[in-house]
Amino acid sequence: MSSAQESHGAGSLWNYNPSFIGGIIATSIFGILTFAHIFRIITTKTKICIPFIFAAFNEAMGWLFRVLSHNNTSQGMFFMIQFSMLLISPIMAAAGLYAVVRCIMQMCEAAERSPVHPRLFARTFGIVDMVCILMITVGGTMGMQGNKAGDQVLLGGLGIQSASFSAFAVITFIWHRRIIAAPTVETKMMDGTIWSNMWFMYAALACIKVRNAGRFAEFLLGKDGFLQQNEWPLFVYDLVPVAIALAACLKFYGQDFRSFRERGMMELRDEDNETSSRSSQVGLRGRVELA
């Protein structure tokens, strides 16, 4: 991987020359994941998973602009695009996870088991994430211009987002433990589906948490720190965990997140419609015979 000791020209915005091969590999991985998520959304119509598409696309574009920055480290636009996209994409993935957990809770008819009501935490964490995106974007722009206050704003945005995501993970875990201790009727009937969803959820949560911790440490140590002076750690705490998280999120497509009550109402409605249709056909046939 590239290091700070390699020559990258005067006026460079980087502490190293971004790896061309590494960037191509990363772009390919996230490009494949982007198309996989698009294919799944088209074939399953699972709208709550749309944020995963944006997360994968942003990662692909972020790494692509790192490729374009190879031997072109003074290009400010390329630097800012890759910087913003790679920092924001996991926040978009988190938005998808909020929606999935809320739907799983509703599917189990167990929203009241959550320490925070699903609708409330989805809205709260969504607002917090929007604030974090704003702080990261503004802070990154200011920091690029040499404003030290911008670095603090950026670090604050990353810290708040990491803390918010940790709180979401804790809420999810507490709810899961309560369901295991005292399962609802719906939970017992859908035991395999729910638990498989939760294990994939935990995999995604853990990977994004690792990524958040790595990024926070990177900016906490500053421009002279080891993590910003060398590129290879970014592949370890960003590329690998985010790719695993987005791959795990493919599990959530095509699932019926409706509660048993909603499913029952739909089935009754379908039966009523079918009965009415048959009655109409019988009545029409009788009138034809009489005529």
Could you read off the pLDDT tens digit of each residue along the chain, which spans 291 residues?
A: 444 444 455 567 899 999 999 999 999 999 999 999 999 999 999 999 999 999 999 999 999 999 999 999 888 899 999 999 999 999 999 999 999 999 888 888 888 888 988 888 888 999 999 999 999 999 988 887 777 888 899 999 999 999 999 999 999 999 999 988 888 777 777 667 788 889 999 999 999 999 999 999 999 998 889 999 999 999 999 999 999 999 999 999 988 776 656 655 444 444 444 555 555 555 555 555 555
Domain boundaries, the chain: 20-257, 260-291
CATH 1.20.1070, domain 20-257, yes or no? yes
- Is pTM beyond 0.95? Reply is no
Task: Provide, rounded to the nearest whole percent, the portion of the chain with pLDDT above 70.
Answer: 84
Range 14-40 burial, b when 16+ CB lie within 10 A, else e: bbbbbbeebbeebbebbbebbebbeeb
Helix residue spans in the chain (DSSP H): 20-44, 50-68, 76-107, 118-144, 148-181, 185-189, 191-221, 226-229, 232-234, 240-248, 260-290
Q: Which residues have C-beta within 8 Å of that of residue 35, sequence separation ≥ 6? A: none
d(CA 127, CA 135): 13
As a whole number of angstroms, the distance between CA 239 and CA 51 comes to 18
* Whole-number pLDDT of residue 168: 95
Q: Give the pLDDT confidence score for residue 180 in this predicted structure.
A: 85
Per-residue pLDDT at 24: 98
Q: CB–CB of 48/99 below 8 Å?
A: yes
- Check residue 106 and give its pLDDT: 84
